[in-house]
Structure 1
Amino acid sequence: MAADKAKALQEVSRVLSYIEKPELAPEDKDAIVKDSVENFNENVNPGWLLYRKSVSTDATFVEWEDSAETFKDVYGKEFIDVLGGYGIYMCGHRNPEILKYVKAQLDRYALHSQELIDPLRGYLAKILSMITPGDLQYAFFCNGGAEAVEMALKLARLATGKQWYISMTGGFHGKSMGAVSVNGKGTYREKYKPLIPGVMHVDFGNAEALEKAISNLIKTGETVAGVILEPIQGEAGIILPPEGYLQKVREICDKYDVVLIFDEIQTGMGRTGTMWACEQSGVVPDILIYGKAFGGGVMPITGIIARPHLWTEDIKENPWILGSPTFGGNPLACAAALATIKFMLENDLPAQVAEKGEYMLGKIMELKAKHPVLVDVRGKGFLIGLDYPTPEMGWAVSKGLFKRGVLTGGTLNNAKTNRIEPPGIMSYETMDKMLNILDETLTEVEVDFGVTWENVASLNV
């Protein structure tokens, strides 16, 4: 089909008019919903609509605006957000204390020339080194989580000259080729084989298996560049490590001179009750990966920060050998990250999350004692997993919450677990409202599936 520039101009002008309007007319709302379904089916991926239908029954819920703890669809239906963009909205939706600095930077200049020194990148790197543990010092900024994982993997090889990586079963690090290779779930790996060679997986939480894997590789003439893991596994279903595990991993990496990489894309920036989850164990990684909440829910920005001994002469002599993302560390994103750090420090958001998370976890444990369908609850801060006997029941809880105006995270690859990741600024009043809705939903699912205390053990798959 030939390009039709005149028709494209007409269409783009119509779409931009929706963005400009303070209020949409009823016919505008209907058109946006109709267009969105058609556009996703014809030009994005029809599977996305099927995925949404599994939670929302139909696909006509079109997100249009948000504020603080909630978002609204195009017709104004409001949802309490306890998914938080899988960790993005620690500071809430459209936090005004972050937006004002991004708007101010936008009025000055939006992107950088790529050649001159852009000051906000330097300021952000310095301040990041001040809020991360130990001697983490040199920062590299990217746009997405998987890209940051790639930088960490590449840095480990560049700095050491070694080859193999050890990752954890159940781990999730993104969907670019290197990230998929270190992922620990077959669902994300099988279709991309052959993957990047030199990756071995061991069980998360088993330090002895990790040491054995490294030792055996070295005995057979191989070299190990890095160990990568999440301090708390997110996509796997909020899996916490055994006590002392991270300390043992640090000792093993020191013993064999292996780079320790912590993927804190989801657990970082206050999500687990401290600025970084690794602080709770007293362990400093060689490379820390950050993202999601780092841009304050306003701009995408991710990256790595590393200990100085990894910044070798090769990287200093050729600053672009590690990577040169065109938009990585751009002024708007850096302004958002700087404002995010300011907001978190001024309000001690990690401490708030620790307190609120303890409250929410306690209340959910009370629901567990009341509802047989809720078979397990675990988490730290505002990273909480709720387990059900079957994936179907997990989806039913997600759907029941959604129809009552609460968005949570049940995933296609681990639907037995709902992820609770609300904004860190969420009020106790909103938490209580959500918990009452969860109570009502659990009762409904138990009735629909015939779940009782007597039969729940036999239903668990």
Structure 2
Amino acid sequence: MASKGRLVQTVARFALSSRLQGRVPVIVQSHAQSTSTQPSDSQQPPSVTLSTEDLIQMEHKFSAHNYHPISVVFAKAKDVEVWDPEGSKYLDFLSAYSAVNQGHGNQKIIDALIEQAQRLTLSSRAFHNDKFPVFAKMLTSMFGYEMMLPMNTGAEGVETSIKLARKWAYEKKGISKDEAVVISCCGCFHGRTMAAISMSCDNEATRGFGPLLGGQAKVDFGDASALEKLLQEKGDKVAAFLFEPIQGEAGVVMPPDGYLKKVRQLCTKYNVLMIADEIQTGIARTGRLLACDWEDVRPDVVILGKALGAGVLPVSAVLADADIMLCIRPGEHGSTFGGNPLASAVGIAALEVVTEQNLSERSDKMGQEFREQLRGIQKDYPNLIKEVRGRGLLNAVVLNQADLGNATAYDVCMGLKNRGILAKPTHGNIIRLSPPLTIKREQVAQASKALREVFEFDLADMKLHAEDRSPPKTPDACDRCGRYKYVMPETEL
């Protein structure tokens, strides 16, 4: 009880300090002021309302600075709409990096969470539970694979797929001990673990974290000829080719038509596992259940995450057939929380919502309309918008930095925020736009209208206020290959 009292005092002191420093007023209700019927010695915490600025400063002081978020605080959300502590409403056009495909707070999923939480939350895999087998059967049936391995986060799914590929390579392909190679793509993003950043071309992700893991090889994304050449040279030691069907974090980079089919042919020819990281692109995001479905390609291994938990819980899984999956045996890989009954119940409901609400078809249709609207803006502002690209409701607007002056895509996103649209830039000059798949036509139009108005009414002031800044820094050459993988317009190099 004493520690609880100290926590109450700490929050109250912070709130009072915030008020005295001139920020938005903070309401602190003492026990004496409370009209509660609770006894005076009940140690009930005071009612403390913190403003957006208070909360951001608190996070900045007490949390690691490993993100650079847009300055808005989520206090409540429903479907596509989000409210901050002051009650201002926004449309979410990031969806927690596609984790909220089913919309914030989908009632069916929340009901499944509550019902299961009241029954059983965790057994660990040391024992069986009554939800995980149902989830496993549903997931494998829905995606057409024989088996699945449950984990929690997307990064864990990537780590699992790499371990699985190496184990398969030694047991089934006959690669000599410790010589297995996993090929990945330049510009990839597979998470922030050591194995994932060891594949990265992003210096910010890798510098200061070495030594990176070995057993890696790289090819350019979308270049099937480069992949074939590498397989000709090293194919006898290659365990897998790990790739994103569309590179999300790199800025919604699209492969050329036919690329996925060619990759499938090459992996089959050289006896290499084709591993699709569909953590962001999967579960209806691109207008198909999997992005690989656009070319009717079946990878050997599929990694799912994000929307598998519908933004309610972290849920991920690796899918493969038995001849691959059973290379991992008891004691060789696992997770205390992977396959827990609470996550399983949420995963079942998340997949049911995708099917019942036809979210793949909805994403395809809404995405086509959205890109048409964005290309209409591009037509009117050809010097500002270099490219509009995407599939389904995974889209990006690539800005021409030369026409922004010292202003940036982050400034444009702040302009969108001020007009009620929440989006986030990636790699300097790219704005990713990926709302929940439940979005309505008028909400899509609202976002397009906001972007047009930022260009029409706000950009001149943005440029003016950015004049005293240093010009946006051109990214360094990649430490791995010496090339400029993440660049703004080529004229700036």
Task: Give the corresponding residue for 1:343.
Answer: 353
Match of 2:110 among 83, 99, 110: 99
Task: Give the corresponding residue for 1:112.
Answer: 123
Counterpart amino acid of residue 82 in structure 1: F
Count how many residue pairs are aligned between Structure 1 and Structure 2: 426
Aligned CA distance change for structure 1 residues 32 and 440 (closer, same or farther; 3 Å):
closer
Q: Return the alpha-carbon distance in structure 2 between the equivalents of residues 80 and 251 of structure 1.
A: 42
Query: SS state of the match for residue 183, structure 2?
Result: strand
| TM-score normalized with structure 1 length | 0.87
Task: Give the corresponding residue for 2:294.
Answer: 280
* Unmatched segments (≥5 aa) in structure 2: 12-25, 29-46, 465-487
Task: Give the corresponding residue for 2:381.
Answer: 371
Greater mean alpha carbon deviation, residues 261-270 or residues 208-217: 208-217
Match of 1:217 among 231, 234, 240: 234
* Alpha-carbon contact 1:98-1:339 (below 8 Å) kept: yes
Aligned CA distance change for structure 1 residues 376 and 356 (closer, same or farther; 3 Å):
same
Match of 1:227 among 237, 241, 263: 241
Match of 1:397 among 386, 392, 412: 412
Q: Return the alpha-carbon distance in structure 2 between the equivalents of residues 142 and 457 of structure 1.
A: 39
Task: Give the corresponding residue for 2:92.
Answer: 81
Alpha-carbon deviation of 1:86? 0.9
* Alpha-carbon contact 2:155-2:196 (below 8 Å) kept: yes
* Alpha-carbon contact 1:63-1:71 (below 8 Å) kept: yes
Task: Output aligned runs, 1:180-199, within 5 Å.
Answer: 180-199=197-216
Structure 1 ranges of 4+ moved more than 6 A: 12-15, 456-461
Query: SS state of the match for residue 131, structure 2?
Result: helix
Q: Return the alpha-carbon distance in structure 2 between the equivalents of residues 193 and 289 of structure 1.
A: 26
Task: Output aligned runs, 1:241-320, within 5 Å.
Answer: 241-312=255-326, 314-315=327-328, 318-320=329-331
Alpha-carbon deviation of 1:32? 6.0
Alpha-carbon deviation of 1:214? 1.9
Counterpart amino acid of residue 388 in structure 2: V
* Alpha-carbon contact 1:289-1:304 (below 8 Å) kept: yes
Deviations 1:9-47 (A, max 9, x none): 5417997xxxxxxxxx84456546566345423321246
Query: Higher helix proportion, which one?
Result: 1
Query: SS state of the match for residue 375, structure 1?
Result: strand
Task: Say which one has the larger Rg.
Answer: 2
| TM-score normalized with structure 2 length | 0.81
1:437 aligns with 2:450: yes
Q: Return the alpha-carbon distance in structure 1 between the equivalents of residues 258 and 66 of structure 2.
A: 42
* Alpha-carbon contact 1:124-1:334 (below 8 Å) kept: yes
Q: Return the alpha-carbon distance in structure 2 between the equivalents of residues 429 and 122 of structure 1.
A: 40
Aligned CA distance change for structure 1 residues 335 and 324 (closer, same or farther; 3 Å):
same
Task: Output aligned runs, 1:117-136, within 5 Å.
Answer: 117-133=128-144, 136=145
Q: Return the alpha-carbon distance in structure 2 between the equivalents of residues 291 and 349 of structure 1.
A: 17
Aligned CA distance change for structure 1 residues 198 and 282 (closer, same or farther; 3 Å):
same
Alpha-carbon deviation of 1:117? 1.1
Deviations 1:368-409 (A, max 9, x none): 101131221000000001011128431221110012221012
Q: Return the alpha-carbon distance in structure 2 between the equivalents of residues 457 and 119 of structure 1.
A: 54
* Alpha-carbon contact 1:396-1:445 (below 8 Å) kept: no
Aligned CA distance change for structure 1 residues 430 and 14 (closer, same or farther; 3 Å):
farther
Task: Give the corresponding residue for 1:164.
Answer: 181
* Alpha-carbon contact 1:29-1:74 (below 8 Å) kept: no
* Alpha-carbon contact 1:142-1:301 (below 8 Å) kept: yes
Aligned CA distance change for structure 1 residues 227 and 128 (closer, same or farther; 3 Å):
same
Q: Return the alpha-carbon distance in structure 2 between the equivalents of residues 81 and 106 of structure 1.
A: 28
Counterpart amino acid of residue 378 in structure 2: K
Counterpart amino acid of residue 45 in structure 1: A
Q: Return the alpha-carbon distance in structure 2 between the equivalents of residues 35 and 442 of structure 1.
A: 31
Backbone CA RMSD of aligned residues: 2.5
Counterpart amino acid of residue 419 in structure 1: R
Query: SS state of the match for residue 195, structure 1?
Result: coil
1:139 aligns with 2:154: no
* Alpha-carbon contact 1:377-1:385 (below 8 Å) kept: yes
Aligned CA distance change for structure 1 residues 338 and 368 (closer, same or farther; 3 Å):
same
Aligned CA distance change for structure 1 residues 352 and 279 (closer, same or farther; 3 Å):
same
* Alpha-carbon contact 1:288-1:306 (below 8 Å) kept: yes
Q: Return the alpha-carbon distance in structure 1 between the equivalents of residues 8 and 147 of structure 2.
A: 42
* Alpha-carbon contact 1:393-1:445 (below 8 Å) kept: no
Q: Return the alpha-carbon distance in structure 2 between the equivalents of residues 88 and 13 of structure 1.
A: 36
Alpha-carbon deviation of 1:184? 3.5
Counterpart amino acid of residue 304 in structure 1: V
Match of 1:408 among 423, 439, 442: 423
